[in-house]
Structure 1
Amino acid sequence: MNPILEEGQPHRRSRGAAGIAARPHAALAGGAGAARLFAALLLAAAANAFAAPAEPPAPAPRAPFSAYASPEARAQFHRLREEDRQAAALTTIEQKRAFYDAINRDRVERMRKRYAVTTRERRYGGVLADVVEPRGGPRDRRVLINLHGGAFLWGARSGALVESIPIAALSGMTVVSVDYRQGPEHAFPAASEDVEAVYRALLDEHRAEDIGVYGCSAGGYLAAQAVARFIARQLPLPGAVGILCAGFVPPDGDSVYVAPLLDGAPMPAAPPRLSELPYLRDAPMHDPQVFPGLHPDYVARFPPTLLITGTRDFLMSAAVRSHALLAAAGVPAELHVYDGMAHAFFSDPEPPESRAAYDAVVAFFKRHLGARAGTAR
């Protein structure tokens, strides 16, 4: 049995902030800035799940940064290390949220200088969303749902705009970024319920095959979970899905051990468990709406799927495995791997690697949306 699989308890719709205080390692884990929140939280959870050695391990040698990466990516790497140092001093969930919101608001300002968009708020099925459109209005009738990253803890609004602005501007499509419920205040399947509500509302205005769903990091997992929920509820399926810097299988494989070593951190004792995150703590890990990749009948019914990752992303192996499962099931799937790039690397617009990832997302959705019937197979 895969060591990450564990029997869950019944769903709970909400959880108080005490959920963080009771498991402080999840709240206090530092990330290399907002671009590596998910990685830091999960790897910290894995480290705390097992007894520490009597003597702290000696720092591992830091691998040289990739010679194939751009100078802008190298500058980003050093900036993220400084953000990591600052995050380590934060002690509460409120401080973490404020810290990463400030980082993301700065990113939004830089994004707006490069990409001409308009933004507005709208509720879909009672769920708040930020609607991002190219300035002058959408040039394409198709629409995208964005699900932001942030470990199911933060990233709402400002982080969502970071992930939506370049895609809306480059694609000419409307991007609806969902302000879904997160932990520790809410628990699985609250976020999936919110995505379903938005999707159902969009189905009143668009054909299913003209709707795409994508997300980064926690949002990538949520995108896969949402598709599984649509399958279970026999909804018409979206035309395509993007699972970015994530997968639809549990975090495992070589990358969960290698990625920390590349940054000079100790190798974790075991793969991280998503159940260590407050939002998923009571979720049944065997449920196909948590890890659809563990259920071949769900995998075979996925729409065309795009996966993007980097060689320093601890979830690279999960992305590679997810792509292999989709390909074996005959599902059209693409995997893009960027050398030297860390988890959620395209949160910054300056590196050419980020812009290449934006182009890949846009090209994939333009190619697949509207290309099939969009109903459950």
Structure 2
Amino acid sequence: MGTLRSLWFATAALLGAAASAQGTAPSAKPDGTVTSPAISIPYSAYASPEAQAFFPKMLAAGSKAPPITAPIEQSRAFYDRLNSDRVTRMEKLYPIKMHSETIAGVNTDVVLPAQGVSPQNSHRVLINLHGGAFLWGAHSGGLVEAIPIASIGRIKVITVDYRQGPEHTFPAASEDVEAVYRALLKQYRPEQIGIYGCSAGGILTAEAVARLITDKLPVPGAIGTFCGSLLDIDGDASYIGPLLNGQGVPEHRLMLADLPYFHGANPRDPLVQPGLSPTLLAKFPPTLLISGTRDAVLSSVLASQQRLDQAGVQTELHVWEGMWHSFFSDPELPESQDAYRVIVRFFLHHLSR
């Protein structure tokens, strides 16, 4: 450790000297805030060639996204087009069958592998909670997260069209997840049910489990919180992630309280941020956490894993180099395919037969 620490200081001194020679030396304030006049960061050499080629295209597509303040119809139309294109590409790679179903009054899409559910999974089921800032992502966004898992894992996946903002506010989505979960408990044992989601869906997965615990329901056999977890969007990555994705350092970071869905909610409520309650966390099931080094939510995911571990919960953490928020929504990347493998393996290992 002493050698690594010495190497770090030597490297920092060398970079600082080079920056000073160019008149771009970074500075540090007493509170630890670091300022650098200019910075140029190449894309990661550890990412796959496919990701290196796709990254500029991803940035170009992202630059066309409506701002969070845009009319909700505009945002939903944009992301539905984006996700519908992904669904088309996914179905060519991962054959599935699907149908709509109302469960406990909640709209859902049921995704099944084209070759049929495997015998070992006949008594297992996964609940998917789609991403989309608690504003968009219903149907097509859920299918993006469900199709590869259902096909590769040969397991039934139910993706939930939960209530979102701005029409609805917390805890409407958690209530919908609980309603679906209660209905499934009539067909499955809790240890045979898994819940997972990405971004807002990852946050909602944690919130839903906290609600189940509070309502004294048995917890599912395992959960996955991807690109969003048990804590608010904060920490180093909330600044560095946007910078690494060409957006610059944000003057105001988007946090949960900024989302219409959480208007009126107490951001310190453990049912909003379960990571604030060690008592709740101690009752969580095994949890898979996924992120990427260019994800603005990476710090939140890392801190969530640490708190779960401190609470004695079995966790599995995977962070992909060079990857951005919800990177596995694009199925052609080797990193995405690796993520699907990790997700399937985790649930097949932890869910009871």
Mark yes or no: TM-score above 0.5: yes
Identify which of 47, 53, 62 aligns with 1:69: 47
SS at match of 1:87: coil
Residue of structure 1 equivalent to 2:73? 94
Range moving further from structure 2, 225-234 or 273-282: 273-282
Residue of structure 1 equivalent to 2:102? 123
What residue identity is the alignment partner of 1:262?
A: L
SS at match of 1:312: coil
What residue identity is the alignment partner of 1:133?
A: L
State the shift of 1:259 in Å.
1.1
State the shift of 1:245 in Å.
0.7
User: How large is the RMSD of aligned CA atoms in angstroms?
Assistant: 1.8
Aligned equivalents of 1:251, 1:264: Cα separation in 2:
19
**Residues 1:355 and 2:337 aligned together:** yes
Maintained 8 Å contact 1:242/1:306: yes
Range moving further from structure 2, 339-348 or 71-80: 71-80
Maintained 8 Å contact 1:311/1:341: yes
- The normalised TM-score by structure 2 is 0.86
SS at match of 2:62: helix
State the shift of 1:287 in Å.
1.5
Maintained 8 Å contact 1:60/1:266: no
Structure 1 residues 195 and 62: CA distance shift in structure 2, 3 A: farther
SS at match of 1:177: strand
State the shift of 1:173 in Å.
0.9
State the shift of 1:269 in Å.
4.0
5+ residue gaps, structure 2, are 1-34
Aligned equivalents of 1:195, 1:213: Cα separation in 2:
10
**Residues 1:264 and 2:242 aligned together:** no
Deviations 1:309-363 (A, max 9, x none): 0000011011111111111111100110000000000000000000111111101
Aligned equivalents of 2:36, 2:275: Cα separation in 1:
37
Aligned equivalents of 1:261, 1:82: Cα separation in 2:
15
- The normalised TM-score by structure 1 is 0.80
State the shift of 1:142 in Å.
0.7
**Count of aligned positions:** 315
Identify which of 58, 63, 80 aligns with 1:85: 63
Structure 1 residues 88 and 60: CA distance shift in structure 2, 3 A: farther
Residue of structure 1 equivalent to 2:294? 312
Higher RCO (Cα < 8 Å, 6 or more apart): 1
SS at match of 1:86: coil
Deviations 1:241-268 (A, max 9, x none): 0000112011111111111222333323
Identify which of 319, 340, 348 aligns with 1:337: 319
What residue identity is the alignment partner of 2:102?
A: R
Aligned equivalents of 1:159, 1:60: Cα separation in 2:
37
Maintained 8 Å contact 1:306/1:364: yes
Identify which of 101, 107, 114 aligns with 2:93: 114
5+ residue gaps, structure 1, are 1-56, 372-377
Maintained 8 Å contact 1:241/1:306: yes
Aligned equivalents of 1:60, 1:93: Cα separation in 2:
36
Aligned equivalents of 2:126, 2:293: Cα separation in 1:
27
SS at match of 2:112: strand
Aligned equivalents of 2:228, 2:162: Cα separation in 1:
18
Aligned equivalents of 2:38, 2:71: Cα separation in 1:
29
Range moving further from structure 2, 273-282 or 144-153: 273-282
What residue identity is the alignment partner of 1:174?
A: K
Aligned equivalents of 2:37, 2:74: Cα separation in 1:
28
TM superposition outliers: structure 1 runs of 4+ over 6 Å:
none
State the shift of 1:65 in Å.
0.8
Aligned equivalents of 2:130, 2:279: Cα separation in 1:
27
- Aligned ranges 1:200-219 → 2 under 5 Å: 200-219=182-201
Residue of structure 1 equivalent to 2:346? 364
**Residues 1:193 and 2:175 aligned together:** yes
Residue of structure 2 equivalent to 1:223? 205
State the shift of 1:137 in Å.
2.4
State the shift of 1:138 in Å.
1.3
Aligned equivalents of 1:157, 1:230: Cα separation in 2:
24
Aligned equivalents of 2:330, 2:43: Cα separation in 1:
18
Aligned equivalents of 2:154, 2:37: Cα separation in 1:
47
